[in-house]
Amino acid sequence: MTDVTISPDPVRRSRRRQLVTTVAVAATLLLASAAACDDDTDPGLPTVQQLREASTIHDRAKLRIGVNPDFPLMSYLDGNTRRGFDVEVARYIARSLGFEGDQSIQWVPLTTEQRVEFLRSGKVDIVVASFSITDDRAKDVGFAGPYLITTPEVLVLKEYADEIQTIPDLRKKEYAVCVAGGSTTQGMLKELSVPVGEADSPSDCRDGLLDGKFQAMVSDETILAGFLSEHPTEFELVDMPFGVEEALGIGVPLEDENLRDLVAYFLAKSYEQSQRGEATAWQTAYITTLGNWLGEAQQPPPIGAPDLLDHDDKIRQ
């Protein structure tokens, strides 16, 4: 990653970051259930250990985590160490599941289109890779989350920043727009009648911008912020009113409800800690990565997190 010496646009950093209505409602339900869960002496509640022993990871020496290979700020290699917001969230989940340290993790790089395939074929145990939760994907993948609410935005070469400002601008024949195949953004642009060039990954779109093959690319704002951090003098982020918010979730095999519930439980545990004003791994991950480019954000409450007994918590108290 190149050193960044130029500060991000403060206007960009102050963009609205509101949760979708369903997530806001879920927050109320989650806080209520958390209060009820304070009395963890209920013998009827399953334990974290019971779910772990019943899940597909119970005999794993390493947790196999699918991640994006080259998304600055989100998931990237710094020498031999993998870093980024998604990576730190993945480390928190791995640690909570009993996989302490990177020596207990097998990082599996995958493309946008491979996320569902790798889960269905058993090549990975979980996927933490800017994975938007959708009804269609939920037919093939179990989701825990969301752990972040984002929006699609547009990244353009600076020389086109004044010309590409609206959705009609994206439809103009003189501009070539890139999108990653298999992304939710691709379907959104199709509905908006925006002609696009399809690439294998957002990184390929970035390279196409730098090579002059494309004048703009559309993707999740977290991904675009990473590319902007690499090339702040060449790119500009355009806040375009698509009117869409996306909830990023952690993918697990559809049939492994125990693992899904465990991941959701630990996301909920982090959320509840943040609501009590405690420092969390999520907050540290966000502040040190995306925060400088996208402004402040709060961890959203995961939907459908179960009540569990966590005996490890009792040991630490």
For residue 224, give every residue at least 6 positions away whose Cβ sits within 8 Å of its Cβ, in sequence order, or none. Answer: 153, 154, 155, 217, 237
Same domain, 253 and 112: yes
Same domain, 185 and 271: no
Same domain, 306 and 232: no
Domain termination residue (choose one: 188, 220, 238):
238
Same domain, 141 and 171: no
* Contact in structure between 62 and 106 (CB atoms under 8 Å): yes
Same domain, 216 and 80: no
User: CATH code at 37?
Assistant: 3.40.190.10
Same domain, 202 and 143: no
pLDDT the model gives residue 23: 42
> Does some domain include residue 4?
no
d(CA 62, CA 53): 15
Segment (H or E) for 109: strand 105-109
Number of domains forming the structure of the chain: 2
Domain termination residue (choose one: 204, 238, 272):
238
> Does some domain include residue 48?
yes
pLDDT the model gives residue 241: 86
d(CA 73, CA 202): 14
Same domain, 193 and 55: no
Residue/partner pairs of 98-104 with CB below 8 Å, 24 or more apart: 98/52, 99/60, 99/62, 99/63, 104/61, 104/62, 104/63
Same domain, 260 and 285: yes
Residue 127 — φ and ψ, nearest 5°? Answer: -125, 125
> Does some domain include residue 5?
no
Residue range(s) defining the domain that contains residue 290:
10-150+246-316
Residue 156 to residues 1, 75, 76, 118, 243, Cα–Cα distance (Å): 20, 22, 22, 32, 19
pLDDT the model gives residue 253: 98
Same domain, 19 and 99: yes
pLDDT the model gives residue 43: 60
Residue 52 to residues 11, 40, 48, Cα–Cα distance (Å): 45, 18, 6
Tell which residue, 232, 244, 250, 131, has the closest CA to residue 180.
Answer: 131
Same domain, 208 and 219: yes
> Does some domain include residue 226?
yes
Same domain, 202 and 272: no
> Does some domain include residue 3?
no
Q: Consecutive sets of 10 residues in the chain, 317 residues long: mean pLDDT of each?
A: 41 40 39 43 81 96 96 95 98 97 97 94 97 95 98 96 96 96 91 95 94 96 96 95 94 98 98 97 97 94 95 51
> Does some domain include residue 2?
no
Tell which residue, 201, 263, 257, has the closest CA to residue 55.
Answer: 257
> Does some domain include residue 1?
no
pLDDT the model gives residue 11: 38
Same domain, 217 and 282: no
> Does some domain include residue 58?
yes
pLDDT the model gives residue 38: 47
Domain termination residue (choose one: 222, 238, 254):
238
